[in-house]
Homo-oligomer: A and B are copies of this chain.
Amino acid sequence: MPLRKSWVESANSAQTDFPLNNLPYGVFDAGEGSMPRCGVAIGDMIFDLCKAEGDGLVDLGGAPVFDVPHWNDVMELGPEAWADLRSQVTALLAEGAEPLPGHLVAQADVTMMMPITVAEYTDFYAGRHHAFNVGSIFRGPENALPPNWLSIPIGYNGRASSVVVSGTDVRRPWGQLRAPDAELPVFAPCRRFDLELEMGAIIGQASDRPVTVQEADDMIFGYVLLNDWSARDIQAWEYQPLGPFQAKATATTISPWIVTKAALAPFRTATPERERELLPYLREPGPMLYDVDLEVALAPEGGAETTISRTNFRELYYSAAQQLAHHTTSGCPMRVGDLLGSGTISGTAKDSRGSLLELSWSGQEPLTLPGGETRSFLEDGDTLTLRGAAQGDGYRVGFGACTGKVIAALDDPYAR
């Protein structure tokens, strides 16, 4: 499929993340007393769906759904409504349609908000190369993968209240840390603060029974970039036997634009070849991963940005649909607005690793930035930016940026 042209000129560039082929959904705040509301990105503009709904240009069959600061109401309506909306918006914004400049707002003039109310957040560990790297660092390459890893999309429940939108500062956490040579921990600011490059799948339909992989894929509304900030030293001391807890609870940053499954359809790709046959309930009925180029950039305080990793969504071993199917096996009820983190996405090359833990090999091989500074883990003032785009024929379906700046830990977390 080639680039589809829009009457919004900036959407017709091969470089924009947001051509007519994409149409990602977000929530924006234009300030000046207006309420945050739903919009769709087109080129460097936003089409105001709340205004369009009020003017009768968009209609999903009844009650208003775009005058709220989240997409949960639209998700509730289900896949037919999702398809209907995409079709209506495509028609309104396509080249040849009557231009509606009064319904556009410049992206540069707004603040992007969380696109959904996160019901619950689950984080997976579904990247083969990441799991191998982390396992190799801590247990050696022979024992890198846990015995269950090739059978189960390993996941754990995260903290929905800690999910924030791109642009939110992330404060270095305090926690219990134990020095390698110490018997007992101290309570201190994290010293090994890290990022994790992930994709987030947004669940748009509820279920209270086990679902097949196909049903799971049908429940997914779209995808965002996701940075699972991780306190490695807190995690190392706390995670046995019940898993990561405070190490992952400071913040998880997502990009503000939900790229829909429909926009990504041309980029579907199968998961990698199985090293162990999957149990039938996890087998893919068709390609459910996506060919999306991903990168991580780091900018020290006041300094220029350096790309420190380049990888691809297709490096995952389990798709979000497989993860979601597994998530329901126990009868666990899923809800509209659930967010699934994919797990860190690393490739096989050294510069395709999705975390500093891997890039610096746990601090043994610090990265050198162009200015001569080195990084084993994140420093205060560092700004991290994830980017991602699927490359089409003369166009790209992009995710925009997922950015967060690390700010210093509190001097005393209990000072009031």
- A238 close to chain B: CB less than 8 A: yes
Q: Give chain A interface residues in 230-251, CB to chain B under 8 Å.
A: 231, 234, 237-247, 249-251
Residues B243 and A332 in contact, CB atoms below 8 Å apart: no
Complex contacts, A234 vs chain B, CB 8 Å: 330
Q: Which of A119, A157, A171, A184 has the most CB of B within 10 A?
A: A157
Residues of B within 8 A of A331 (CB): 162, 171, 173-174, 249-251
Residues of B within 8 A of A160 (CB): 120
Chain B minimum-CB-distance residue to A190 = B330
**CB <8 Å contact, B330 and A231:** yes
Q: Of the listed stretches A102-110, A145-153, A219-227, A365-373, name the one at the interface; the rest are far from the partner chain.
A: A145-153
B414, A330: Cβ atoms closer than 8 Å: no
Residues of B within 8 A of A327 (CB): 246, 249
Residues of B within 8 Å of A120, CB to CB, are: 120, 159-161
Taken together, the copies of this chain in the complex come to 2
* Inter-chain contacts of A239 with B (CB < 8 A): 241-243
Q: CA–CA, A158 to B326, complex, Å?
A: 16
Interface assignment of A395: CB less than 8 Å from any CB of chain B? no
Taking a contact as CB atoms under 8 Å apart, the answer to whether B242 and A413 are in contact is no
Q: Which of B243, B251, B334 contacts A244 (CB 8 A)?
A: B243
Contacts of A161 in B (CB 8 A): 119-120, 332-335
Check if A125 is an interface residue, CB within 8 A of chain B. yes
Say if the beta carbon of A394 comes within 8 Å of chain B.
Answer: no
Q: Given contacts A161-B334, A210-B174, A330-B174, is CB(A243)–CB(B246) below 8 Å?
A: no
**For residue A248, which residue of chain B has the nearest CB?**
B330
Q: In the complex, what residue of chain B is closest to A174 when comparing beta carbons?
A: B329
Number of A residues near B (Cβ < 8 Å) is: 60
Most buried by B among A158, A241, A249: A241
Considering the complex, give the chain B residue whose CB is closest to the CB of A139: B241
A361 within 8 A of B: no
Residues of B within 8 A of A245 (CB): 154-157
Q: With A and B bound together, what is the CA distance between A243 and B152 in angstroms?
A: 13
Interface centre among A243, A326, A410 (most CB of B within 10 A): A243
Residue A6 lies at the interface, judged by CB distance under 8 Å to chain B = no
Docked Cα-Cα span, A276 to B175, in Å, equals 18
Flag whether A280 is at the interface (Cβ < 8 A): yes
Q: Report the bound CA distance from A327 to B159 in whole Å.
A: 11
**Cβ-defined contact, B414 with A281, below 8 A:** yes
**Which B-chain residue is minimally distant from A146 (CB atoms)?**
B240
- Cβ of A350 within 8 Å of any chain B Cβ, yes or no, is no
How far, in whole Å, are A281 and B185 apart by their CA atoms in the complex?
A: 13
A90 within 8 A of B: no
B-facing mask of A99-130, CB < 8 A → 1, else 0? 00000000000000000000110000100000
Contact of A241 with B146 at beta-carbon distance under 8 Å, contacts A151-B176, A327-B246, A329-B413 already known: yes
In whole Å, how far is A9's beta carbon from the nearest beta carbon of chain B?
42
Q: With a CB–CB cut-off of 8 A, which chain B residues contact A146?
A: 240-241
Q: Return chain B residues, CB-CB under 8 Å to A330.
A: 173-175, 231, 234, 246-247, 249-250
Rounded to whole Å, the gap between the CB of A377 and the closest CB of chain B is: 16
Nearest CB of chain B from residue A136's CB, rounded to whole Å: 13
Shortest C-beta distance, A140 to chain B (Å), equals 15
Known: A120-B161, A176-B279. 19 other contacts (CB 8 A): A120-B159, A146-B241, A148-B176, A148-B185, A151-B176, A154-B242, A155-B245, A156-B157, A156-B245, A161-B332, A174-B329, A187-B279, A187-B280, A209-B413, A239-B241, A247-B330, A249-B331, A281-B413, A329-B413
8 inter-chain pairs at a CB distance below 8 angstroms, sorted by A residue, are A120-B160, A125-B241, A152-B238, A157-B245, A173-B331, A210-B413, A239-B242, A241-B243
| Residues of A in contact with B (beta carbons under 8 Å apart) | 119-120, 125, 146, 148, 151-152, 154-162, 171, 173-176, 184-187, 209-210, 212, 231, 234, 237-247, 249-251, 276, 279-281, 326-327, 329-335, 410, 413-414
